[in-house]
Amino acid sequence: MTAPDTLTPVLTATWADERSWTLDSYTASGGYEGLRRALTMSPDDVIAEVKDSGLRGRGGAGFPTGMKWGFIPQDNPKPKYLVVNADESEPGTCKDVPLMMASPHTLVEGVIISCFAIRAHTAFIYIRGEVLHVVRRVQAAVAEAYAAGHLGRDIHGSGFDLDVVVHAGAGAYICGEETALLEGLEGRRGQPRLRPPFPAVAGLYASPTVINNVESIASVPSIVRHGAAWFASMGTEKSKGFGIFSLSGHVTRPGQYEAPLGITLRELIGLAGGIREGHELKFWTPGGSSTPLLTAEHLDLPLDFEGMAAAGTMLGTRAIQLFDETTCVVRAVLRWTEFYKHESCGKCTPCREGTWWLVQTLAALERGQGSEADLDLLLDQCDNILGRSFCALGDGATSPITSSIRFFREEYLAHLTHGGCPFDAARSTAWAGQEALA
């Protein structure tokens, strides 16, 4: 293994433990100590600790978590809610599901501490409905937590009450958008809400609501347990702490690599045993398909919020999809665009109609039909979607297209001159070269 000390396993530290998902296993490795510490603090001190740690939202946008909690108006007479966004659906993003499978109590403990901090007495964990096994595992963990007195009335004699509801989504990518998630949670059609009012003021059931990603909340126990300074000692100046980097695609050992923010892709690929044998990196997404893709020339950029923004992309969910030179970028982009077309909720015009049209133009290009002018048309369509749609889904749909044309314009044109895709799609598959000859 190369440079194992660049990894900082915190969230993932116990994943390999025997029955790591059980309360016993979690407690044996120090679980729920953060909660015990938090219950000795004042809620405002917990918020301050999280603020001081510099933890930024791990769901993609990177909004400072402590600041978000601070927005909750404590003089509002309505109940306050914590909603955990576990609707992990972005292509390439696969960190929350393994976390909830391997260590659901890390999330549950985070939920309790977070609710204590924002003075919420009901929390909802909204889990993508397709991953039923995860729903069951988190449900089981919540039941264990109730049985152990971590949840319910007067938790460990602190006088703090908390109930946690595990909610299974109904199968729509848009419900990862926080206001659409709230609509879904309220039993309505999942479409994003008009803002303002912002959820911090009028979120779930028109009450003050904090919505955080699974990994953000799961990071809270370690911060409370080890202190803000411990957390802030990792990462870079403005992107503190650690994060799970999910490597997938043409890499020798795909998987979850927990490392300080600011690590480079070169280091991560090194940890993962390199690009698959005999091939070289062609392009990659830093944080899921909604983040503009990068190429091999960006291997040494720091993977933090600022570094990625400087390169014209976003850190996103650190869902790094790696593609080697066997992959047709037009094909990959078309597949992603089909996903966005399928998942566009329909509320606003640019996303609903734009994705419908983008797919047609891209599909024609992949078949070698159309003209060079269609590339500019694609860019113009994207320009008319980006920043014009109701929520970020439409924006995300344009990222792979604009970034791929920026870096691989010639490859698009090659489809036109070649009269179709010049790539052999089979060569990019995991089983390439292993085909049984009939």
Partner 1 sequence: MSDVEQRTDLVSVTIDGIQVSVPRDTLVIRAAEQVGVQIPRFCDHPLLAPVGACRQCLVDVPDAGNGRGFPKPQASCTLPVAEGMVVQTQATSEVADKAQQGVMEFLLVNHPLDCPVCDKGGECPLQNQAMSNGRGESRFAGSGSGGVKRTFPKPINLSPQVLLDRERCIVCQRCTRFAEEIPGDPFIALVERGAQQQIGIAEDAPFLSYFSGNTIQICPVGALTSESYRFRSRPFDLVSSPSVAEHDACGAAIRVDHRRGKVMRRLAGNDPEVNEEWITDKDRFAFTYATQPDRITYPRVRDRVEDGGDGSLRPASWPEAFAVAARGLAAAGACAVLPGGRVTAEDAYAYAKLARVSLGTNDVDFRARPLSAEEESFLAGHVVLTGPGDGGVTYADLERASSVVLVGLEPEEEAGTLFLRLRKASRRGLRVVSIAPFATRGLRKLSGTLVQTVPGREPGALRELLGHADHGIDSRAVVLLGERLATVPGAYTAAAELAARTGARLAWVPRRAGDRGALEAGCLPSLLPGGRPVADAAARVDAATSWGVESVPETPGRDADAIVAALLTGEVGGLVVGGVDPDDTADPDATRRAVEAARFVVALELRETEVTRAADVVFPVTPVVGKAGTFVTWEGRPRPFEAVLAEAGALPDLRVLSGIAEELARLGRGAPLGFRTVAEVRAEMAEIGPWDGERATFAPMSALDTPSTDDPLTTAGGAPGSVLATWKQLLDDGAMQAGDKHLAATARPAVARVPRTVLDALGPVVTLTGDRGSVTLPAEAADLPDGVVWVPTRSSGRGVLADLASPGARVTVKGAEL
What residues make contact with partner 1 under the rule CB under 8 A?
172, 174, 189, 191, 194, 341-350, 352-357, 360-365, 367, 369-370, 374, 377, 380-381, 383-385, 387-390
Min dist. Cβ of residue 365 to partner 1 (A): 7
Q: The tokens of 383 are what?
A: 């320009």
By beta-carbon proximity to partner 1, the closer residue of 17 and 374 is: 374
Question: Judged by CB, which is closer to partner 1: 207, or 344?
Answer: 344
- Least distance in Å: CB of 96 to partner 1? 23
H or E element at residue 321: strand 319-324
CB of residue 187 to partner 1, shortest distance in Å? 13
Q: To the nearest 10°, report the CA torsion of 331, 333, 335, 337.
A: -140
Give me the least distance between CB of 207 and partner 1, in Å please: 20
Strand pairing category for 122-127 and 281-285: unpaired
**Count of other CB atoms within 10 angstroms of residue 419:** 10
Nearer to partner 1, 249 or 370 (CB): 370
Backbone angles phi, psi at 240, to 5 degrees: -85, 160
Nearer to partner 1, 155 or 174 (CB): 174
Q: Closest CB to partner 1 among 21 and 340?
A: 340
Instruction: Scan for tokens 């779930």, then name that residue.
Output: 204
**Partners of 246 in the β-ladder:** 256, 319
CA dist 327 and 324 (Å) reads 6
Is the peptide bond prior to 221 cis by the omega test (within 30 degrees of 0)?
no
Tokens standing for residue 33: 């100590």
Nearest approach, Cβ of residue 133 and partner 1 (Å) = 26
**Closest distance of CB 52 from partner 1, Å:** 28
Nearer to partner 1, 112 or 329 (CB): 329
Cβ 379 to partner 1 shortest distance, Å: 12
Burial of 363 (0-12, 13-18, 19+ CB in 10 A): middle
> Is the separation of the CB atoms in 161 and 153 below 8 Å?
yes
| Residue 381: alpha-carbon gap to chain centroid | 26
**Letter for the amino acid at 59?**
G
Least separation in angstroms between residue 383's CB and partner 1 is 7
Nearer to partner 1, 262 or 354 (CB): 354
Q: Considering beta carbons, is residue 191 or 317 the nearer one to partner 1?
A: 191
- What single DSSP character describes residue 157? G
Helices (H), 227-328: 228-232, 265-271, 305-310
Cα–Cα distance for residue pair 386/351, rounded to 1 Å: 9
Given the complex with partner 1, which of 244 and 348 has the nearer CB atom? 348
- Give min distance, CB of 198 to partner 1, in A: 14
Answer whether 337's CB lies under 8 Å from 364's CB.
Answer: no
- What is the Cα–Cα distance from 413 to 368, expressed in whole angstroms? 9
